[in-house]
Amino acid sequence: MKRDIKVKWLEGHVLKILSLITSVFLWFYVVNSEPITVQRSFDVSVKSPVGLGVDKLSASKVRVTLKGARAFLKEYQDEDLKIFIDLSKKKLKGKREIQYSIKDNDIVLPFGVDVVKLEPEMLALHFDKVINKKINIKANVISNLPDDLRLITAKVTPSYVSIEGPRSLMKKVGVTKSRLVDISTFSGMGEVDVTLAELPQFVRYLGDKSFKLKYDIRPKKANLNLKNISINFISTSHKFKPSKRKVSLDVLAPEGKSLRSSEVKVYAEIPAKKKGKFKVKLRAILPEGVHLLQINPEFIKVRKY
């Protein structure tokens, strides 16, 4: 039995040694294999001195010739292709423009990979004072709606956003917009999440807000009037008195379609923290294919105790 244990122990150690030898052999093979030369385009990123920002850069990309083992270069992903220039501690002493020679430590390279050539090797950078401000946001939509529908409103909320950048560039940015949204298949009132369009180079959005596109799409004319539709009140309290409990609706319905009152829902949401007299906007949910033109009235008065 002791002999069997000894044999197994020896076998295990032999396998480990063979594995180590194989790994070392492969490593030397990779390192000493014929190096290859490739060209890659690197994005230039600059960390500016405190209170300043780049407003002009002679080249935003640099063509870099690299040399190294094929295996190492294969592992070099596109997101790694960055030249990071840290000027945060540099004192410009009144100058706003500098010539910068790209250094090896500005580029993070894998082991065994060297820089052969940079095009260009020198960068001209101009700086200006960094400021921030608020700008309005415009809705950017494609509205190829059916002939019987029209867009009443399309707006982004919040309607403004804070931005930051060099003063010379900020002067040229007075408004931004949402990324393009196709509302051709939308109807009624609703909202969708949107992102904002890209700003000019060296200008950025501040904060991490989320934005929504609120839209109101209605028929150009109604072919049906629905009367005495009860309002469904959404409230955390019963201590309120509305000016109306029933309304009428003007809608556009497919030809020959009849509607029952139970198919139509009108809601009034009573704010939980509000008291006294105030107005509440009504909203309606209709069956598919039926479009709202108007709720009569659109608002009701509420007294909350």
3-state secondary structure 258-287: CCCHHHCEEEEECCCCCCEEEEEEEEEECC
Residue 7 lies inside a defined structural domain of this protein: no
The pLDDT of residue 169 is 96
CATH number, residue 171: 2.170.120.40
**Which tens digit of pLDDT belongs to each residue from 191-219?**
999 999 999 999 999 988 899 999 999 89
**Considering Cα of 53, then 55, then 56, then 62, what sign does the dihedral take?**
positive
- pLDDT tens digits, one per residue of 262-278: 899 999 999 988 889 99
Which pTM was predicted? 0.71
Answer yes or no: do 122 and 56 share one domain: yes
pLDDT at 32 over 70: no
Same domain, 107 and 148: no
Average pLDDT over residues 241-251: 94
Q: How far apart are CA 74 and CA 70, in angstroms?
A: 6
Q: Which residue has the higher pLDDT, 217 or 73?
A: 217
- Provide the domain limits for residue 253: 224-304
Among 129, 160, 183, the domain boundary falls at 129
Mean pLDDT, to the nearest integer, of 96-115? 87
Total Cβ atoms within 10 A of residue 289: 10
Last residue within a domain, chosen from 104, 129, 154? 129
Q: Where residue 273 sits, what CATH number does that domain have?
A: 2.170.120.30
The total domain count for the chain is 3
Q: What is residue 148's predicted lDDT score, i.e. its pLDDT?
A: 87
